[in-house]
Structure 1
Amino acid sequence: MSTAKIHPSASALSTTIKHLTGTLQFSRTCTFPPNGLAHSRRTTHALRIRRSLTVSSSSVSDPLEVCVKASLTTPNRLGDCPFTQRVLLTLEEKHLPYDLKLVDFSKKPEWFLKVSPEGKVPVIKIDEKWIADSDVITQALEEKFPNPPLGTPPEKASVGSKIFSTFIGFLKSKDPNDGTEQALLSELVAFNDYLKENGPFVDGKRVSAADLSLGPKLYHLEISLGHYKNWSVPDSLPCVKSYMKELDTGRMIGSGKAHEGLYVLDAESSSSRQALQTIGMPGLSLLHQWHMRLGHPPIFVLDKLLPSLVKHCDRNNFHCDACELAKHKHSCYPLINKRSLFPFMVIHSDVWGPSRVMSVSDCCWFITFIDCYSRVTWIYMLRTKSEVFSCFKTFHKMVHTQFATLITVLRSDNGTEYIDGDFCAYLEEHGIFYQTNCIGISE
């Protein structure tokens, strides 16, 4: 079963692996003419994040040209090849600028077959000579650009070297009892034991060429077997899992298993609790913290991701101020306590309707009249919207008779029911000034 991990920070090496493996599309993409002479001084997105590297900071006057496999599904994007990623990781660890030549493997161009007669990638141009094979390329880079040193001691060079071949055997296997899964597990157990005694990296605390080779391969193992075999590295191999996901620190702060197309996070695990304690927010429930950390998903999504937490939660009382405010079309209006100088000086009016349910008196509209001084509100039910004018005349007579005063200003929205010819003539006849609210506001 495939797993997803949450990391505390993007380290130099892990950031590069994410960009050159899991999200290959973020790497630099360039198109080249058949003669392959075009150059670009742009660095990869990952490289800009990691080092803000420029060509002038390297001893290389021009970027190194690297032929790589293009994506089969997305035009002008880097394809999926762990051997190519090993070379690119090496270039980045050595701070070397490079240009990618994307090769369409469905129709290999002639210029590429000239520099790589076998039609394989990666191929890199060093000192005007094209070199193939990732082992040969990384060795040549180490000799020509020794700083920083990435060489692996000979006695450690074979560590984890059989993992990839046993992974391919298990991936191609159709018989669950042919021993290929056990062979892979044996290699992973041996690697886990080695890291436990000698880690966090193959060469102890220093990143070496062996790590740059194993990193992309282990990533492919995790993704491929998770997709095709519903298989993942067992939790009983914590050193391998940490090595795969955070080569810089070996620290994993959260995990989740794939279930029905979603990664279900184990909020009860010690690693997940540690993550919340590390960057938690006092005063908030565990579910609310996960809600905020996952980007404010709705409660039914949380129910799928964190069922163990949601089942103990009262859904009706689960509220998030940020979610409610984000759904507002505009900010709240400021509270203004301005009132008119005396009763009925200003009357606010609005019409609402039609309602889908008729009242007992067959009305589906209503109109409100609010005194700006006292905030007293009168509501009149309407059968049709055309009754607004007659209703206002009734209200006007009631004010004059019951309160012995006059209405000075009538204020409403820009509804057409208030600007009817007879309505306007009536207001003018009685000296009532008509005002409207600004367009596009609700108050």
Structure 2
Amino acid sequence: MTMPTLTLISHPLCPFVQRAAIVLLEKQVPFHRINVDLGDKPAWFLAISPTGKVPLLQVQDAYGAEEILFESVAICEYLQETRPGPGLYPDDPLMRAKHRAWIESGSATLEEAWGYLNARDQASADLKAASLKDKLAQLEKILGSGPYFAGEAFGMVDAVFAPVFRYFDVLETDSTESLFTDFPGVNAWRKALSARASVSAAVSAAYPALFQAHLQRQQALLMKEI
């Protein structure tokens, strides 16, 4: 049976796109990638994206029928259920439910990290840093011996948190590094994720420069440290 042709509709900086790309790469699934300018969204993109956001996964079967999937978690779960390769969830239903809960927490952690990184003044940065540290403290409590979220096996929770930690790998300022000082388990986890081939390949070589350029345009306080 011929597997569907996949196209990932993307933006170079989107962390939610990275989730899908990491899963595709972990499962060694061939795919095409098309980047869109979210500041000037093309008509064809708006016609197929219910939310006007990325990622989208365009699935075309052997007969040419086309479907569009949206929302990163839905895309990742589709890939988990339909593609061979390593399983990214535990077999046990209770543990699987716990992992899905931490995936939801990953989205909340991403929101706090984004607010901190884009803060333009010290008061806003301090507020977001405190919220982010609360999230990291919760992670520190439940992490095991690593190197990944659930131990030796890379999983869906890792795919969700890797794009969050990538921001800090790119910047590595005194302020960003200090966020992880009290969380050695989380710090070791983020370094293991950074070294993972699928995580590295989920973005282009231009990603660090593009992200820093974004922060410059936002007049982010952190850019004064670089």
Relative to the length of structure 2, the TM-score reads 0.69
Distance 1:157 1:221, change over 3 A: farther
Q: CA deviation at 1:114?
A: 1.7
Please state which structure has a larger fraction of its residues in strand.
Answer: 1
Please state which structure has a larger fraction of its residues in helix.
Answer: 2
1:149 to 70, 77, 87: 87
Distance 1:106 1:155, change over 3 A: closer
Residue 128 of structure 2 is aligned to residue 180 of structure 1: yes
**Helix, strand or coil for the counterpart of 1:247?**
helix
Unaligned runs of 5+ in 2: 91-95, 197-223
1 or 2 for the larger relative contact order (CA 8 Å, sep ≥6)? 2
Q: CA deviation at 1:190?
A: 2.2
Is the 2:28–2:85 Cα contact (8 Å) retained in structure 1?
no
- Structure 1 residue aligned with 2:203: none
Distance 1:107 1:83 in 2: 19
Is the 1:202–1:208 Cα contact (8 Å) retained in structure 2?
yes
Q: CA deviation at 1:65?
A: 1.1
**Helix, strand or coil for the counterpart of 1:184?**
helix
Aligned residues: 184
Q: CA deviation at 1:141?
A: 1.1
- Structure 1 residue aligned with 2:73: 135
2:161 to 214, 225, 228: 214
Deviations 1:38-69 (A, max 9, x none): xxxxxxxxxxxxxxxxxxxxx75564111112
Is the 1:66–1:125 Cα contact (8 Å) retained in structure 2?
yes
Distance 1:260 1:183 in 2: 21
2:149 to 189, 202, 209: 202
Q: CA deviation at 1:198?
A: 5.2
- Structure 1 residue aligned with 2:58: 125
Q: 5 Å matches for 1:36-435?
A: 61=3, 63-69=5-11, 79-126=12-59, 127=61, 128-151=66-89, 153-159=96-102, 160-161=105-106, 162-173=108-119, 174=121, 175=123, 179-195=127-143, 197=144, 199-223=146-170, 226=172, 230-232=175-177, 233-247=179-193
**Helix, strand or coil for the counterpart of 1:231?**
helix
Deviations 1:177-220 (A, max 9, x none): 8643222112112212322x353322222111110111011112
Unaligned runs of 5+ in 1: 1-58, 70-78, 251-258, 262-443
Distance 1:222 1:148 in 2: 26
Relative to the length of structure 1, the TM-score reads 0.37
Q: Percent identity?
A: 26
Distance 2:139 2:49 in 1: 34
**Helix, strand or coil for the counterpart of 1:219?**
helix
Is the 1:113–1:119 Cα contact (8 Å) retained in structure 2?
yes
* Structure of greater Rg: 1
* Pairwise CA RMSD: 3.1
Name the aligned partner's letter for residue 176 of structure 2: W
Deviations 1:279-308 (A, max 9, x none): xxxxxxxxxxxxxxxxxxxxxxxxxxxxxx
Distance 1:110 1:211, change over 3 A: same
Distance 2:225 2:127 in 1: 28
